[in-house]
A and B are shown apart, each in its own frame.
Chain A
């Protein structure tokens, strides 16, 4: 009985150890190393044949130079800051688009709801990369959007959308919308309609009832949706590199360039470690929100 429990508990921890903690340990170690023209492209590497003395020598060669480099070169700070701004803005944009969709779904006739749900999830069935490429086709100078706007006569010269931050926002909102819609829909769908009737009965207009009842009661879903968008967007790399321009500075992109263009593994690892540390804050807050929600439900 006790052994079985131990094994059950051990499995997720072993999983975490193997696929998160050990890789993170390796990344952390690389971030403390120095770049070198070698395979792998950093030094020192661990040589077990040298025994204990070799190990201590190996440890003594590790230092925090890469981290102080990150602090000195303003590129990284700017990239972190710009990533943060883009994440916050695009999370709010996704909320602005996602909430009405979730609200509409929750108020749709019951027999429509499963189909609407499938429509929200449907884009996931195509490759994410292909969908982002499709946006390139839509947003480019000669793309569908510009053709359409010129055809309607709203503009004479094509707009430059692709390779700007606007395109990045469009791409992020489009890609992450389901993560916002689904948790909000889940809370709105649970909402007892008689609460709104009670609010009206007690003197609220429809709009007041929305702000005084629907909005506060959908808060857990809104918070969950915001975190589910904010956390992955912070490290997003594909969307800014495909839709963004040279001016779009995001930490995921910087990381990629350090690794593959500069082949500077130690600095790239240091960036990854800092990114993780920054992400721990919202993830912890998210966990707390989930827990508070569970307690309130009981």
Chain B
């Protein structure tokens, strides 16, 4: 690990002396013949905002439900603060969960919902109203304290659910698709509120989501899951820039994948032969590769430049014709068909109005990128 991901330098996973808050040790969960979680090891540290990302059915929800105590691991152990929590029932764990459906009690008011967990705790009765008010203030719902859940909006319900789950000051808060039910605008706004509240309370958050943008926005680290296994656990920028496999590269954001063979290597620099009569692609790889290895060259569309003439100093330059243009307002994605039949996407920011666009359909163009723009993947 060469760099810290976020500006403040919070990266306990790089410190070998740091004790994790949560440790999964070879955890497997089977439902009958189906293996939902497969021999999984991961450490989650105090104060982290840890995102479990993956397609539906990848095991991320099962992982979360094991943390909450609703499912027991078939094999392996889950440690919370160094203690095996396997035999601890959900109501005795210092872990609270915010449910995807919010699961607000419809017969109780907003304030009563938030007080629900406190009344079951050993908090003195006289302190409960104060704590409820504090939580209402945190999520800015003081004036709705007396309302029933069906009398408030979806975004407000989401905040009540959050306040209820945070009221007992758990060591770990689990969020199951917390923003899934909100519309896009509200979701973006709420993402930042979540991060804010996480920082304010200092609680460790584990969030389950299938929305990669959400995971990237809120998380300190993202774990990409598939078929019950963790494919990559890393900071959002490294997940995006340095995916360790084609699966991760393809799952997160948009990517061009070109298959080929390693022609020669020199340190991190790798040359790839990918098509008859085409110049070798020069890319980089984090791990050493032997010549002749089958590999995929992965490059993000925004790292591919598009021009009418061959840029004189470009390390990689390939010619083609514009096959399609996707106009997205702020950016345009050009689908360029190479002479080999490959389609490569190149993205440019629309800093000028569309009427003055440089390229149009069927134009002959050059695609170029630097030797560090793309990475070579073998997995």
Residues of A within 8 A of B (CB): 192, 194-195, 197-205, 208, 212-213, 216-217, 296
Q: Which of A192, A201, A213 contacts B91 (CB 8 A)?
A: A201
Assembled-state Cα–Cα distance A201/B116 (Å): 11
Assembled-state Cα–Cα distance A208/B116 (Å): 12
Q: How far is the CB of A155 from chain B (nearest CB, A)?
A: 44
Closest to A298 in B: B150
Closest to B174 in A: A201
Assembled-state Cα–Cα distance A298/B95 (Å): 34
| B107 CB contacts on chain A under 8 angstroms | 216-217
Whether A205 contacts B90 in the complex (CB less than 8 A), given A197-B103, A213-B105, A217-B106, comes out as no
Q: Mark B146-167, 1 if CB is under 8 A from A, else 0.
A: 0000100000000000001100
Assembled-state Cα–Cα distance A204/B165 (Å): 14
Kindly identify, within residues 114 to 131 of chain B, every residue whose CB is under 8 Å from any CB belonging to chain A: 116-117, 120-121
Contact check, B101 vs A192: say whether CB atoms are below 8 A apart.
yes
How many contacts between A and B, using CB within 8 angstroms?
54
Closest to A196 in B: B103
Assembled-state Cα–Cα distance A216/B105 (Å): 10
Contact check, A203 vs B103: say whether CB atoms are below 8 A apart.
no
Closest to A193 in B: B103
Kindly identify, within residues 32 to 72 of chain B, every residue whose CB is under 8 Å from any CB belonging to chain A: 68-70
Per the CB 8 Å criterion, the residue count for chain B at the interface is 24
Closest to A215 in B: B107
Instruction: Say whether B168 faces chain A, with CB atoms less than 8 Å apart.
Output: yes
| B28 CB contacts on chain A under 8 angstroms | none
Contact check, A197 vs B106: say whether CB atoms are below 8 A apart.
no
Contact check, B120 vs A202: say whether CB atoms are below 8 A apart.
yes
| A217 CB contacts on chain B under 8 angstroms | 106-107
Q: Given A195-B105, A200-B90, 13 other A-B contacts at CB below 8 A?
A: A192-B101, A192-B103, A194-B100, A194-B101, A195-B103, A197-B70, A197-B97, A199-B105, A201-B165, A202-B91, A203-B91, A203-B121, A216-B107
Q: Give 12 pairs: A residue, B residue, CB < 8 Å, sorted on A.
A: A192-B101, A192-B103, A194-B103, A197-B68, A197-B90, A199-B105, A199-B116, A201-B97, A202-B164, A203-B120, A204-B91, A296-B150
Assembled-state Cα–Cα distance A205/B92 (Å): 9
Contact check, A202 vs B70: say whether CB atoms are below 8 A apart.
no
Assembled-state Cα–Cα distance A205/B91 (Å): 6
Kindly identify, within residues 60 to 105 of chain B, every residue whose CB is under 8 Å from any CB belonging to chain A: 68-70, 89-91, 95-97, 99-101, 103, 105
Assembled-state Cα–Cα distance A142/B352 (Å): 100
Whether A201 contacts B68 in the complex (CB less than 8 A), given A195-B103, A213-B105, comes out as yes
Closest to B116 in A: A202
Closest to A208 in B: B120
| A213 CB contacts on chain B under 8 angstroms | 105
Assembled-state Cα–Cα distance A216/B101 (Å): 20
Assembled-state Cα–Cα distance A60/B168 (Å): 76
Assembled-state Cα–Cα distance A194/B99 (Å): 7
| B164 CB contacts on chain A under 8 angstroms | 202
Q: Which of A200, A204, A217 has the most CB of B within 10 A?
A: A200
